[in-house]
Amino acid sequence: MTAGAPTASGLAVVVGAGGALGAALLAQLQREGSYDRVLGLGRAGEIRIDYADEASIAAAAQAVAKLCSESGLALRLLLVASGFLHGVQGQPERSWRHLDAGYLQQVLLVNTIGPALLIKHFFPLLPRQGRCVAGFVSARVGSIGDNALGGWYGYRASKAALNQLVKTAAIELARSNRDGICVALHPGTVDTPLSQPFAKTGLTVRPPQEAANDLLAVLAGLAPADSGALVDYRGQTLPF
């Protein structure tokens, strides 16, 4: 990686802006002023995205395309901070005995299928020249090579699949823009409703704003050679 801030122009879009980490990323980008405009997308708001409804993703992309056309701004940063670990659909599995189709469908929808559809509809909006960055919040537990504890079948699988999507999209992005960067991001354990039930004594849990600051600093230092990697909040490349 090479140090250096991204071009201070264009549009930045944060998907999942209603979550704790997404909101922190959105707020920090707005404070920094590195982009001409910063837009937050999620399940609520003027531009709504529902991963279970591809038409909503297509409509959101069309709205962003219209904004770019009318403002003359290029989409220079796309950050996807949405994620699912537990909810009414179930909890992460401790054993294969706990595998459940409903939970698997939900965790794959939010962590894998939704981001895949964002790639489909938003990557055509990325500029064909100049630096642009797409970052997808993943997780270290999605690393197959780093899996020594087992458990959490669905969440691990959904993030491993996301990492593969990122790697594949990075290859295609490079064909249209050699300065384009697409990476998966491990933010560490962030103090959010997603992680709270599993935060245990001795585990380093970081405030969302700290995690957001670290991730944005890492993104600013990325070079095209880093595209396709899984990178943590310290800027270290993790194994797939």
Specify if 116 maps to a domain. yes
pLDDT tens digits for range 60-100: 999 999 999 999 999 999 999 999 999 988 899 999 999 99
Query: What does the DSSP assignment read for 189-228?
Result: SB-STTTGGG--TT---B-HHHHHHHHHHHHHT--GGGTT
User: pLDDT value at position 149?
Assistant: 92
Specify if 50 maps to a domain. yes
Instruction: Give which of 75, 107, 89 is closest to 10, Cα–Cα.
Output: 75
Q: State the residue range of the domain holding 74.
A: 11-238
Q: What angle do CA 47, 58, 218 make, to 5 degrees?
A: 70
Looking up residue 79, the CATH number of its domain turns out to be: 3.40.50.720
Which residues of the chain fall below pLDDT 70?
Answer: 1-8, 192-203
- Predicted TM-score (pTM) of this structure: 0.91
Q: Are strands 230-232 and 75-80 parallel, antiparallel or unpaired?
A: unpaired
Q: Are strands 132-137 and 230-232 parallel, antiparallel or unpaired?
A: unpaired
User: pLDDT value at position 195?
Assistant: 54
User: pLDDT value at position 5?
Assistant: 42
Specify if 4 maps to a domain. no
Specify if 1 maps to a domain. no
User: pLDDT value at position 88?
Assistant: 85
Specify if 6 maps to a domain. no
Contacts of 24 (CB under 8 A, 6+ apart): 208, 209, 211, 212
User: pLDDT value at position 6?
Assistant: 42
Specify if 5 maps to a domain. no
Specify if 56 maps to a domain. yes
Specify if 135 maps to a domain. yes
78 contacts 13 by C-beta, under 8 angstroms: yes
User: pLDDT value at position 121?
Assistant: 98
In one-letter notation, the amino acid at residue 105 is: Q
When divided into structural domains, the chain yields a total of 1
